[in-house]
Structure 1
Amino acid sequence: MTLKSSILLTGGSGLLAVNWFYSKRSEFIVYLGLNERIIQPNGSNVVILDFSSEKNLIKQLEKIRPSVVVHTAGLTSVEKCEKNPELAYFINVELSIMVANVTKALNIPMVHISTDHLFEGNNLNLSESEPVHGINVYGKTKAIAEKFVAEINPDSLIIRCNFYGWGTSYRKSFSDHIINSLRNHQVINLFDDVHYTPILAEYLIQTVHDLLAKRAKGTYNVVSDDRISKYEFGILIADEFKLDKSLIIRSSLASQSNLVRRPADMSLSNQKVKEFLGRKLGSVKQHIVQLHLQEEDEKIKEIQLL
C-alpha cells in the first residue's frame, strides 16, 4: 500500500484553501491549518496552527511532516489593509516570514500564494521579472512578503494569481457575487476600466501541483490566457449561466473617489509557466464553462454548506 503525500494549507478556512482541500482530498492527506475560524469539512484533518513563535510552529509541523506547505493565509481586503496597516503587515508579511523560516528549517517545500496586486497598473500582461511597485497597503505588504520568502527559502514556489470559484456560506467569491445577484434579479455595477487575468481555482490548484511535480521554484504567474475587464467577466458568466446580462451596468474605477487607490490593470503574462509546463492554462471562457459544470458536483455543494 502506497502512503499518500500530505499537504498543509495555512489559512485553512479561506476560499482557496477550502477549494484546495476538496480538489485534492482524494489524492493527498490534506491538513487544514486554522486560526480564528474553525471549520471541519468531512474527511479533513484540522490543525489549529500556533503562530505565537517559530519554535511552536516547528513542533506542530514536525508531528505531521507535510510533504508541502501551501501558505494561503493573508489579509486580502484592500480596505481593511488600508485601515489597519499594522495588522496587514503582521498577517501578510510576518506570518509569511515565519512559514518561510519554519519550512526552510525542516526542509519542507513551500508554496507562497501571492497576488496580482503588486504594480501601479499602468501596463498590461506583466511578466515575473517586472519590478514590483504596490500602490496601497495590501499590494505593498504582499510585495514585501514575496521578497522575504524568496530570500529566506530560495527553493520556495511563489504564485501570483487572481482566482475565483465556489465559495462558502461565510465567504463568497467574485463569481458567486455575480451569479447570486443576477439570479436574484439584482442590478450590479462592474468596472469596465479594470483589467485582470482571472483563473478558476481548480486550474490554479492543478497548475501548482504540476509545478511541484517538476520541482519548480521561484516566481510564477498562474493566471488565465486572457486579459479581461471585470465587466466583460460578468458578461461571460451571464452568458454561460443563461442569466440576464442587462442587469450588469458598466461602471468605472476612475469615478470611485471613495475607494482606496487600486491598480486599474492587474493583468499578468503566463508565458513563463506555459513554457515550463508545455501547455496553455486555458481561456476565461473555458474556465467559466467549467465553473458551470462544477455546480452539480457534490464537493461544490459541500463547500457551499460550510
Structure 2
Amino acid sequence: MIALEPVTVTSRRRRIPMPRWGGREGMAGWIILGVLVLVALLAPVLAPHSTEAIDGSRIFGAPDWSHPFGSDDLGRDVFSRVLYAYRASLSIAIGSVLLAMAVGIPIGLIAGYAGGWTDLVLMRAVDLLLAFPALLLAISLIAILGPGGLVALLAIAIIYVPIMARVVRSSVLVVRNQPYVLGARARGASHWAIVRGHVLPNAIGPALVQASVLMAFAIIIEAALSFLGLGAQPPTPELGLMLAEGNNYLTQAPWVEIFPGLAIALSVLAFNLIGDGLRRSFDPGQLAR
C-alpha cells in the first residue's frame, strides 16, 4: 500500500497583496515623483539664482546657459522659481489628500461596517458636501477664510473628504460580507479586531488608488486657485501664480508660461502613473497574469 502523508491545513488571514511597482507605468511614476520631491527639498541648493532678485537687464531674457528657463517680466530667473514652486504645489497636493484621508477613511469605514442609521446619517452629511461644485466650494471657503496656501490646502481637503469616504464605504460593504470576516465574527472576535485585522487591510486598496488620482487633480485645483489669486500670494513662487503673472506676455516671452505649465503637467503625469500602478497591484486579475 502507498502511505499517504497527512495534509495539514494552515489558517491564513486573507489580505490583498501589498502594493508593488505596478509595472513600468507605476515605476515611472514613482521615479518622476521621487525626483520632483528631491528637487523641491533641494531647491535652495539647486536654484542658481534668487527667486525674488529683480534684474532690470534680464527682463524677458530668453533661455540661456545661465538662465535655462529664461527670465520673467521682472528679470527673475524662471528656473529657480519653478524649483521653489514645486515646494508649494506638492505640499498642498499631498497635504490636502492626506488630510482628506485622515477624515474620510474613518467616516467611510464606520458607515460601511456599521450600516443602518449610522450609515444613513454619515452618508447624508457627506452628500451635503457633494452637492456643491468643487471649485465653487473652494472659492467660497477661501472667500471666508482669506487667500493663502494653507487655506487652499484646507479647502481642497474638504472637497476630497466625501470622495474618500464614499470610496472606502463601497469597499467595506463588499469586504464585510466575505467568508473570512464572517468566520472571525463567528469565532467571537471584537468589532475593533475585525475592522483592524480584516476589513481595513482588504478595503484600503481602492482608497490608495483614488488618493493618487486626487493628488493629480489637487495640483490642478491648487494651480487654478493661485491663477485666480486665491492661493499662494506674491512674491511666493507657485506654478499657478507664475502662469497668472506671465499670462499677458505669452507672445512676447512664451517661456514664462511654457515651463511652469510643463512643471504642472509633469507632476500630474507622475501621480496618474502611480495611480495606474497601484490599480495594477491591487487588482487580483492583474496579479494572476
TM-score category of the 2 structures, normalised to the smaller one = under 0.3
Q: What is the TM-score with the length of structure 2 in the denominator?
A: 0.25
Q: What is the TM-score with the length of structure 1 in the denominator?
A: 0.24
Relative contact order (alpha carbons < 8 A, sep ≥ 6): 1 or 2 greater? 2
Q: Of Structure 1 and Structure 2, which has the larger fraction of its residues in strand? A: 1
